[in-house]
Amino acid sequence: MNYAHPEVLVDTEWVSKNLPNENRKLVEVDYDPVNGYQKGHINGASLIWWKRDINDPITRDIISKKQFEALMSKNGITSDTEVILYGDFNNWFAAFVFWVFKYYGHENLKIMNGGRKKWELENKDYTTDEPQMTSTTYNAQPPDEGLRAYLFDVRRIIGREDSVMVDVRSPAEFTGEITAPPEYPMEHAQRGGHIPGANNIPWATAVNDADGTFKAVEELKQNYESKGVTPDKDVICYCRIGERSSHSWFVLKYLLGYPMVRNYDGSWTEWGNMIGNPVEK
């Protein structure tokens, strides 16, 4: 059986044979571009730096429609361009950017399965040359709020049988043993634990450990359905800052074809810091 939307994935082999051109752009999305893109990237790829390019510089929020249009222009992307995303950290941030592209209505969008991890395992070439982009005029769509969950959406579905929450963090984060690993001192919260009623299905259960590619559809179905995450429910995914949860959002929405899946990008750094929010351990 195939993925519900196989058109959203390309493999490393395809990318190596289909270089970017006027109508196809390759974009590396990094959390840490100093140790990623700047050390080497796929020939022709431009960079989206998650922190600098996708987040508002002042308010905690993703970029506005206008900022998104400017980012697309800078990367030589029009609303008809085929865009292929890949990145560091198992494609977490590429998935987040995929979610933002969809939020602003970009249609022709794909992820390179396995990201930098698989490309490097295959010893494929990198370059440090950065492509010259001609700026474009990009007209984004109004935000699709059906893809995004806010704090009040999460509060509203607690305890509802027609809804389910997927906490994609590690079991240690889910139980409250830790709020963030020591590597990320900026991502802690005042309380540890999880949103009441959430299911712990770590993002990593959706990928093959060896190369970071997505598991086969039957394995994915088993992974989620056995924990009550079924397509008839309103599903909300969350993690710590919303990037791992956009990876699982991508799996549920595009690989399994669930009709109603939202990413709660506020995630634990919002929920676990708010006064009065209920917490389960």
Partner 1 sequence: MEDKTKRGLTVKETSIDEKLNVKADKGMIHDMDGIGHWVPIRWYFSKDSFDLSQVMVHAQAMEKKYTEIRELTCPEDDT
> Does residue 237 have an active-site annotation?
no
Task: Give the interface segment with partner 1, choosing from 26-34, 40-48, 72-80, 99-107 (CB under 8 A).
Answer: 26-34
Q: Phi and psi dihedrals of 47, rounded to 5?
A: -115, 135
Helix (H, G, I), strand (E, B) or coil at 28: strand
* 18/35 with CB nearer partner 1: 35
* 52/160 with CB nearer partner 1: 52
Among the options 140, 239, 255, 261, which is catalytic?
A: 239
83 vs 22: CA distance, rounded Å = 11
Interaction of residue 52 with partner 1, rule CB under 8 A:
yes
Q: Which of 5, 39, 51, 156 binds partner 1 (CB under 8 A)?
A: 51
Q: Minimum distance from CB of 184 to partner 1 (Å)? A: 6
267 vs 203: CA distance, rounded Å = 14
238 vs 154: CA distance, rounded Å = 10
Helix (H, G, I), strand (E, B) or coil at 58: coil
Q: Minimum distance from CB of 50 to partner 1 (Å)? A: 7
Q: Which of 9, 15, 27, 31 binds partner 1 (CB under 8 A)?
A: 31
Q: Contacts with partner 1 in 156-185 (CB under 8 A)?
A: 181-185
By CB under 8 A, how many residues form the interface with partner 1? Answer: 16
Q: What is the torsional sign of CA 189, 192, 197, 202?
A: positive
242 vs 247: CA distance, rounded Å = 9
Interaction of residue 196 with partner 1, rule CB under 8 A:
no
Q: Minimum distance from CB of 109 to partner 1 (Å)? A: 23
Interaction of residue 57 with partner 1, rule CB under 8 A:
no
Interaction of residue 146 with partner 1, rule CB under 8 A:
no
* 147/178 with CB nearer partner 1: 178
Interaction of residue 59 with partner 1, rule CB under 8 A:
no
Interaction of residue 35 with partner 1, rule CB under 8 A:
yes
Positions touching partner 1 (CB under 8 A) are: 30-35, 49-52, 181-186
Known catalytic residues are: 239
